[in-house]
């Protein structure tokens, strides 16, 4: 995927590997999420950020395939018929909630629910909740403000699933992502900033035994 893997984190690459035949689409979805994160992080004017997010929305929902042509990530998604993307509007709304004064709840619901919808292709209520937990946990490891990170951890802990859902086999990458978050949150820990050796071993364990 020329021009797209530069945006992929080591954790996203490993999670995508568990998607089997759907790994290429998962990698592109994660790469898009990283692009959106960078867009928000480099935006100082809310209106400009909203316009940039609107451009991605228009390009990724353009039935003619003209809008966004030449953008490697969009071209790659279209090449494997991965557009339109389920949950895109919700996903973009979540990232928009981080522009200006951050709305953590809207961010968690939007980015987490939208991203998990995009990856899974469906979004039962419990998966939307799992996505919210993961997104807030993930953010806690990348934000510099300790108070914001603590609020994200507390909010994520409050939304941990109370029942054990039946994760379809095709959703294994999402199950792993959720349980990585859950383990840290149950111990009051924020996410690590990157793929540490301990996180890697935990990922392998969850992939093998499910928890």
146-149 contacts, C-beta under 8 A, 24 or more apart:
148/102, 148/104, 149/190
For the chain, residues with pLDDT lower than 50 are 1-2
* Spatial CB neighbours of 151, under 8 Å, sequence gap ≥ 6: 104
Longest CA pairwise span in the chain (Å): 49
Helix, strand, or coil (residue 68)? coil
Helix (H) or strand (E) holding 21: none
What does the chain come to in residues? 211
Give residue 78's Cα distance to chain centre: 20
- Three-state secondary structure along 78-125? HHCCCCCCCCHHHHHHHHHCCCCCCCHHHHHHHHHHHHHHHHHCCCCH
Could you tell me the pTM of the whole model? 0.93
Distance (Å, whole) CA 154 – CA 176: 21
Show the CA angle centred on residue 65, arms to residues 63 and 67, nearest 5°.
100
Matching residue, tokens 């609107």:
54
Helix (H) or strand (E) holding 45: none
| Per-residue model confidence as pLDDT tens digits over 70-95 | 999 999 999 999 999 999 999 999 99
**Residue 2: its pLDDT value, please?**
46
* Spatial CB neighbours of 208, under 8 Å, sequence gap ≥ 6: none
**Residue 7: its pLDDT value, please?**
72
In the chain, % of residues over pLDDT 90? 83
| Per-residue model confidence as pLDDT tens digits over 105-122 | 999 999 999 999 999 999
Matching residue, tokens 């859902």:
165
């Amino acid at each position: 995927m020329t021009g797209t893997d530069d945006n992929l984190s080591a954790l996203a690459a490993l999670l995508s590997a568990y998607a089997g035949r759907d790994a290429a689409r998962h990698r592109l979805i994660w790469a898009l999420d990283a692009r959106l994160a960078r867009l928000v992080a480099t935006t100082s004017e809310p209106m400009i950020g909203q316009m940039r997010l609107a451009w991605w929305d228009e390009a990724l929902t353009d039935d003619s395939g003209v809008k966004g042509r030449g953008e490697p990530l969009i071209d790659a998604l279209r090449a494997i018929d991965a557009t339109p993307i389920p949950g895109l509007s919700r996903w973009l709304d979540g990232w928009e909630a981080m522009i200006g004064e951050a709305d953590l709840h809207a961010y968690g619901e939007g980015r987490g629910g939208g991203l998990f919808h995009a990856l899974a292709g469906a979004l039962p209520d419990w998966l939307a909740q799992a996505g919210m937990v993961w997104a807030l946990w993930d953010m806690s490891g990348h934000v510099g403000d300790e108070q914001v990170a603590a609020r994200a951890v507390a909010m994520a802990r409050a939304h941990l699933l109370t029942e054990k859902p039946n994760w379809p086999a095709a959703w294994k990458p999402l199950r792993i992502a959720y349980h990585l978050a859950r383990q840290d949150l149950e111990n009051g820990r924020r996410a690590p900033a990157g793929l540490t050796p301990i996180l890697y071993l935990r990922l392998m364990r969850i992939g093998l035994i499910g928890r």
